[in-house]
Amino acid sequence: MMKASKSISPFRLSSLLRNQKDPALALQLFQNPNPDSNPQPQKPFRYSLISYDIIISKLGRAKMFDQMEQILGQMKQQTHLSPPEIIFCNVMSYYGRARLPDRALHLFDEMPSFGCQRTIKSFNSLLDALFKCGKIEKMREVLEGIEDYGTPDACTYNILIKACEGEELDDARNVFDEMRSKGVEPTDVTLVTLIYKLCSVDRVKEALELKEECERVHGVMANAFVYASLMKGLCGIGEMTLAFELKDEMVRKNIRFDAAVYSTLISVLFKAGRRGEVSGLLKEMSEYGCKPNTVTYNAMIHGYCKEKDFEAAYGVLDEMVKEGCRPNAITYNVIIVALCKEGKWSEANLFFQDLPRRGCHPDMLSYRMLFSGLCDCGQFKEAAFILDEMIYKAYAPHYARTHKLVEGLCEEGNMELLGIVLSSLEKANVLDEDTWRVIISTLRKEKPSDVFELIDTLTIQ
């Protein structure tokens, strides 16, 4: 007689769940941990909080929200369990990333029925979920009841600062001032958020003063992201000397460099016509053990293309591949658009056709750029071919360039190709009234009889 297999314990279940990568299989295991382990009737499986936490996290990350809510409902029935607040904070975070504000609000309201007290921690999770969903007015509404859950902390203020956009940037400074007046110390997140926002609207001097204040008064030291934002902002207003001084300050403070800092400076050197200094920065990167990434190489390729030095740009592309750094669509698109701007449409087209061999599949932007370039160069036959490929891949062309192609074919009197192009546009549902106006107005001037011939051709097709 075969011995029954050993039953899985609650502790063993949590270990198995943690190791199961597939959330659907993890859910199946959770729902039936001991299939056919014992022919005798068994007591209900006594799940642990750890098991609930693991399966809820797996389902939430996989956006399997209906299944996750079933598990939450099951946990609610386990009266012997007292779920910690962090479980609900995590679930609200999943809802926020999935743009499901109503579910986050509902869960927050339901927390007491689980036997879990709501504090400022779960309130912050709700606030952040609403921010991620763009529900700024709802954030203001729920803020009115914040006293019921505790005193606002640094996390609360950081979320409110992040929510201030565009013209509301002064409100972000007001939130920062209130934060300090309430005795809440700013964090590195506070500094990063405010610096980035100020630099994005060219208030760089104010950002520098804020950095100094946070370091001197609050002991919050700037990190690499803060320096990168400041350097980019300084370069944007032409203060290159100050930007490089900040880089030297990072060296003195032993702040670990990342490729973003160097990529920013490389872009600026090219814009200022100081490409000769780029090699020095690359050497410095190597000395600090900071490897160039795709953004770094793209900055160099863009710089060389702006200078119309395509041989150097191709050289960087080859070096990039040699160093094991995979080019992306942006890498290739920069070269394509630069070639088209210089009227090198044939080279751009050949480069585009070679992308699959290079391990890159052209995206919609790649097609649009080449299509626009070919139209601008008057290469309407090649443009029509690219348009056909675009429509086959469900990529919508720009109307302005479509009109240019149609107008060009009309002026050339190429009725056969024009008929094919219009048929393709119609199939893609992008043949509009404006296109017909272009055709009729152009042909009336050139060859009035061709209007009727074209209509007959399209009717037959």
pLDDT per position as a tens digit, 417-458: 887 888 777 777 767 677 677 666 665 555 555 544 555 544
- pLDDT mean across residues, the chain: 86
CA atoms within 13 A on the CB side of 400: 5
Question: 165-174, 239-248, 424-433: which has the minimum mean pLDDT?
Answer: 424-433
Instruction: Flag whether pLDDT at 336 surpasses 60.
Output: yes
Rounded Cα distance between 46 and 7, Å, is 12
- Asked if residues 338 and 305 have their Cβ atoms less than 8 Å apart, the reply is yes
Instruction: Flag whether pLDDT at 89 surpasses 80.
Output: yes
Q: Which amino acid is at 260?
A: A
pLDDT per position as a tens digit, 179-207: 989 999 999 999 999 999 998 888 899 99
pTM: 0.70
Instruction: Flag whether pLDDT at 1 surpasses 50.
Output: no
Mean pLDDT across 17-38: 86
- Asked if residues 297 and 316 have their Cβ atoms less than 8 Å apart, the reply is yes
Long-range contacts of 373-379 (CB under 8 A, 24+ apart): 373/336, 373/337, 373/339, 373/340, 373/341, 373/345, 373/348, 374/340, 374/345, 374/349, 375/401, 375/404, 375/405, 375/408, 376/340, 376/404, 377/340, 377/343, 377/345, 378/408, 379/345
Rounded Cα distance between 417 and 458, Å, is 11
pLDDT per position as a tens digit, 256-280: 777 888 888 888 888 888 888 888 8
Mean pLDDT across 219-242: 88
> Helices 294-306 and 278-287 sit at what angle, rounded to 10 degrees?
170
Segment of 297-311, 393-407, 411-425, 428-442 carrying the highest mean pLDDT: 297-311
